[in-house]
């Protein structure tokens, strides 16, 4: 893909293509396995992305066992069920609504941070979902940086997943991500992207 961007990026065009310009959501994968250690490496890199008050609410449930995968499948909608059944590895990415419990550790220079959220469940959930969504984006780019492909999906029964696989945690599912090496015809054609002029107001 030819870029019209002229900014002096410190990353090579090859790297920018890998992370952004040529990247797609994968719809099929090869049989090559993906390990929990690979997910660990991706997490250990992408956890450095910024969040408000360093609250870091993203949580992952990596479904390594066939039994865990089978529990997830009935909650997946439409064609996402078959994709999830066939992927080498699957992870549920969730927001921890009890992130405030770790604020004394993660945001130590503001001793009152935890108390701000203690009695406000709505504020905790809003902050958790917003900041975990940021971290989902970091994680997906990290998957690409690791030479893997990601198939993030929002088409599933979130309440069902929360009640089944996340029960008792305070975690709220956001996306299910299939992980692997792209298989044949893994990509749909690139869909149009909005123009700068349509998306950006300069005041």
DSSP labels, the chain: ---------SS-HHHHIIIIIT----S-B-S----HHHHHHHHHHHTTS--GGG---EEEEEE-SHHHHHHHGGGB-TTHHHHHHHSSEEEEEEEETTGGGGHHHHSTT-TTHHHHHHT-HHHHHHHHHHHHHHHHHHHHHHHHHTT-EEEEE--B-HHHHHHHTSTTTTEEEEEEEEEE-B-TT--PPPPP---HHHH----
Residue 107 lies in a domain: yes
Residue 125 lies in a domain: yes
Residue 195 lies in a domain: no
Q: How sure is the predictor about 36, in pLDDT bands with cuts at 50, 70 and 90?
A: very high
Write out the residue range of the structural domain in which residue 39 sits: 35-181
pLDDT at position 1 is: 47
Residue 190 lies in a domain: no
Residue 55 lies in a domain: yes
Residue labelled with tokens 């959930």: 125
> Can you give the CATH number for the domain in which 47 is found?
3.40.109.10
Residue 7 has pLDDT above 80, yes or no: no
Residue 41 lies in a domain: yes
Residue 76 has pLDDT above 90, yes or no: yes
Q: How sure is the predictor about 5, in pLDDT bands with cuts at 50, 70 and 90?
A: low
Domain count, the chain: 1
Residue 191 lies in a domain: no
pLDDT at position 44 is: 98
Q: What percent of the chain has pLDDT over 70?
A: 97
Residue 16 lies in a domain: no
């Amino acid at each position: 893909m030819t870029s019209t961007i002229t900014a002096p990026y410190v990353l090579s065009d090859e790297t920018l293509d890998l992370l952004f310009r040529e990247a797609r959501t994968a719809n099929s994968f090869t049989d090559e396995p993906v390990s929990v250690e690979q997910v660990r490496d991706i997490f250990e890199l992408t956890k450095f992305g910024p969040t408000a008050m360093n609250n870091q609410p993203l949580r992952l449930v990596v479904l390594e066992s066939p039994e865990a995968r089978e529990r997830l499948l009935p909650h997946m909608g439409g064609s996402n069920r078959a994709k999830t059944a066939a992927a080498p590895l699957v992870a549920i990415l969730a927001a921890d609504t009890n992130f405030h419990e770790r604020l004394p550790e993660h945001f130590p220079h503001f001793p009152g941070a935890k108390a701000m959220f203690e009695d406000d469940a709505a504020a905790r959930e809003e902050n958790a979902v917003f900041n975990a969504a940021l971290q989902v984006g970091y994680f997906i780019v990290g998957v690409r940086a690791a030479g893997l492909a990601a198939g993030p999906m929002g088409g599933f029964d979130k309440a069902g997943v929360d009640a089944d696989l996340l029960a008792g945690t305070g975690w709220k599912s956001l996306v299910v991500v299939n992980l692997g090496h792209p298989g044949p015809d893994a990509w749909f054609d690139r869909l149009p992207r909005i123009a700068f002029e349509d998306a950006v107001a300069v005041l």
